Amino acid sequence: MGEVVEGLKSKFGDAIVEVFEKSPRRTYVTVDPARFPDIAEHMYKDLGARLAIASGMDMERNFEILWHFCFDDANHIVNLRVILDHDKPSIESIAVRVPAAEWIEREMWELLGIEFRNHPDMRHLLLTDDWPEGKYPLRRDYEGLGENE
C-alpha cells in the first residue's frame, strides 16, 4: 500500500501531515482537515477504497476522527486521521462525495457534537429529537442528564 500513500503525498502535498504504518495491513495518514473532503473523495472514487466506518473520539485537547478506508482486494486499511479543535469541532461533510459517511457523520454530530458543515440530512439518528442541545454523551465532560432534563 506504499503506492497509495506515495500517490496521496504526490497529489495532495503538504495536506498529508503524517504517515504511520502500524502493520503491513494498516496505515494511518494524518491529513489537514481543510483538504480532507478532497482526499476522501479521491480514496473512494479514484482509488476504489470502501469507507467501512469512522471513529470519533474526544481526546481532551482536541477531537480525532479516523476514517477507515478499506482496500478489500489488497486486505489493507488506510485510516485517514483528522484532528479538530476541541472548542469548536467542525469539518466539511463528505456525505455527498462518499455516501457511506452520511449516518456516521450524524452519529458523531449527536454523540460528540462535531459539526459536519453542509451535511445533506443532519438530524438525530440515535438520540430522541427532543434531546437537550449541548449534551453530548460520548464527550469526556458529559455528566448525564439532570433530573429535570
Q: What is the pLDDT of residues 72-92, one digit of tens each?
A: 999 999 999 999 999 999 999
Kind plus residue range of the DSSP H or E element containing 16 = strand 16-23
Of the candidates 53, 55, 57, 33, the residue with the CA atom closest to the CA atom of residue 136: 57
pLDDT value for 1? 66
Which tens digits make up the pLDDT trace of 2-47?
889 999 999 999 999 999 999 999 999 999 999 999 999 999 999 9
Q: Which has the closest alpha carbon to 54: 71, 69, 66?
A: 66
Q: What are φ and ψ of residue 138, in 5° steps?
A: -100, 5
**Cα separations in angstroms, 63 against 42, 72, 113:** 23, 28, 10
pLDDT of residue 95: 98
Whether the pLDDT of residue 149 is over 90: the answer is: no
148 pLDDT more than 70:
no
Q: Which amino acid is at 73?
A: D
Mean pLDDT of the chain: 94
Are residues 27 and 35 in contact, defined by beta-carbon separation less than 8 angstroms? no
- pLDDT confidence of residue 2: 83
Q: How confident is the model at residue 146 (pLDDT cuts 50, 70, 90)?
A: low
Give the confidence band of 147 by pLDDT, cuts at 50, 70, 90: low
What is the percent of the chain with per-residue pLDDT over 70, rounded to a whole number? 97
Nearest to 79 by CA among 119, 135, 39: 39
